[in-house]
């Protein structure tokens, strides 16, 4: 192997490693820091006085609303990071696959350029396939919608000052049930049907 070919091979490996390392670090930083972003602070502060009333229905319900809200918000944040991380990584690799073929001075060996471009293109396709197959977008959206519904339930609970507290648990349960259906690929019609059946059974 000539000196020029060895240099081209080394450059190819270094370039690929640096790009993949940069992408990996970017995704790792995004996912690692999303949990530190403030979320739900207003609702948490508003529900805290009711939660501190130990051994009361208001305390039990307020804690259930808040903990489920924070959990779904955190899940939405994580799945959002995974989904967009995969999407941006795939877009970057796809763009690099086309760009590297245009290099004239950085990578001169045509065989090397084609190999690296093919690797980037395949990696981009795999990321998109994994993201689509794993339903990352649907999981993110299902948790985000559930968090919004729980937030609304929390403020309705506060508006009524915790009156008839246990009645709000049904709303929390329905929200979580719809979230599970959405993640599993169900739909709201199934949730509505289940609720109608439950209501009919109570009437009988």
Q: What is the pLDDT confidence band of residue 33, given thresholds at 50, 70 and 90?
A: low
**3-class DSSP state of 40:** coil
Average pLDDT, integer, range 31-60? 75
Give residue-wise pLDDT tens across range 132-183.
888 888 999 999 999 999 999 999 999 988 888 888 999 999 999 999 998 8
Distance of alpha carbon 163 from its chain centroid, rounded?
Answer: 35
Closest CA to 61 of 175, 171, 169, 163: 169
pLDDT of 78: 87
Closest alpha carbon to 53 in 64, 44, 63, 43: 63
The answer to whether 194 and 177 are in contact (CB under 8 A) is: yes
Query: What is the model's pLDDT at position 198?
Result: 46
Q: Percentage of residues in the chain with pLDDT exceeding 90?
A: 20
Query: Residue 18: its pLDDT value, please?
Result: 66
Residue 59 has pLDDT above 50, yes or no: yes
For 52-96, the DSSP string reads TSTTSHHHHHHHHHHHHHHHHHHHHHHHHHHHHHHHHHHHHHHHH
Greatest Cα pair distance in the chain? 87
- Cβ–Cβ under 8 Å, residues 143 and 79: yes
> Residues 192, 104: contact at Cβ < 8 Å?
no
How do the domains of the chain map onto residue ranges?
Answer: 3-203
Q: Collect all residues with Cβ–Cβ distance below 8 Å to 134 and sequence separation of at least 6.
A: none
Query: Above pLDDT 70, what percent of the chain?
Result: 68
Q: Please give the DSSP secondary-structure letter assigned to residue 100.
A: G
Using 50, 70 and 90 to split pLDDT, how confident is the model at 109?
low
Average pLDDT of the chain is 77
| Residues 119-135 pLDDT 10s | 888 888 888 898 888 88
């Amino acid at each position: 192997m000539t000196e020029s070919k060895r240099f081209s091979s080394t450059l190819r490996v270094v370039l690929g490693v640096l790009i993949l390392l940069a992408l990996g670090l970017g995704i790792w930083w995004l996912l690692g820091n999303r949990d530190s972003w403030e979320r739900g602070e207003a609702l948490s502060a508003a529900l805290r006085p009711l939660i501190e009333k130990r051994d009361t229905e208001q305390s039990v319900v307020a804690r259930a609303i808040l903990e489920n809200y924070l959990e779904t918000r955190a899940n939405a944040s994580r799945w959002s990071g995974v989904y967009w991380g995969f999407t941006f990584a795939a877009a970057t690799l796809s763009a690099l696959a086309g760009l590297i073929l245009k290099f004239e001075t950085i990578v001169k060996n045509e065989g090397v350029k084609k190999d690296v471009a093919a690797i980037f293109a395949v990696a981009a396709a795999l990321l998109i396939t994994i993201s689509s197959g794993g339903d990352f977008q649907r999981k993110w959206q299902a948790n985000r919608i559930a968090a919004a519904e729980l937030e609304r339930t929390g403020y309705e609970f506060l508006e009524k000052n915790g009156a008839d507290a246990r009645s709000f648990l049904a709303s929390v349960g329905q929200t979580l049930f719809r979230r599970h259906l959405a993640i599993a690929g169900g739909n709201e019609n199934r949730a509505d049907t289940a609720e109608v059946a439950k209501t009919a059974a109570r009437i009988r």
